[in-house]
Amino acid sequence: MSETRQECRFCAGGCGEQAKYAELDTVIESYKDREGCLIMVLHAAQEIFGYLPIELQTYIADKLMIPLSEVYGVVSFYSFFSMKECGKHTLRVCLGTACYVRGGMRLIEHIKEKLNVEVGGTTADKTFTFEVARCIGACGLAPAIMIDDEVYKHVTPKYLDEILAGY
């Protein structure tokens, strides 16, 4: 996890690799004897490092004394884990039925053009990682987007420009 991606909660993005691994070791030590600790450790690792490349997965597997295949299986199964470097913010456009029908695809095309990023990619300035969600549970607010944990309702391309300007 080389360069600063997301700011980790422990060091505001300014700590080096060694400090990050030391913090992860503390997390692993506190969870290692608990049933189902892998997901908790992976969440903490992603918060500290910004993403979960295979080298970090191997480190976690070794520390927890579990097969790498188990770690990789969890990371690749759950969409909230990323194996690629991410932007500071995650921008998700809902493409559930209501959002799709009410203009979700138009929002995707607008984002691709405005931010020069493809779905699944990260903007050149590392501000946004752009994703599509199957449904964010905001059908009555369609079309909806999320930036990090904040939901925006009844989004139009013009409103989207206003939202993005805030970032």
The alpha carbon of 115 is separated from its chain's Cα centroid by a whole number of angstroms, namely 18
- Antiparallel, parallel or unpaired: β 145-147 and 89-94: antiparallel
Amino acid letter, residue 48: I
| Better pLDDT: 57 or 11 | 57
Residue range 89-165, CATH number: 3.40.30.10
Inter-residue contact 38 to 74 (CB < 8 Å)? yes
Rounded CA-CA distance 149/96 in Å is: 17
Rg of the chain over CA atoms, in angstroms?
A: 18
* DSSP codes, 119-147: TT-B-TTSSEEEEEES--S-GGG-S-EEE
Q: How confident is the model at residue 1 (pLDDT cuts 50, 70, 90)?
A: very low
Q: How confident is the model at residue 15 (pLDDT cuts 50, 70, 90)?
A: low
What residue has token string 């080298």?
Answer: 55
Sheet-wide strand order for 89-94? 128-133, 89-94, 145-147, 150-152
Helices (H), 11-103: 17-31, 37-49, 54-64, 68-77, 97-101
Q: Mention every residue, 6+ apart, whose C-beta is less than 8 A from residue 44.
A: 24, 27
pLDDT, tens digit (0-9, with 9 covering 90-100), for 119-163 = 999 999 999 999 999 999 999 999 999 999 999 999 999 999 999
pLDDT, tens digit (0-9, with 9 covering 90-100), for 51-80 = 999 999 999 999 999 999 999 999 999 877
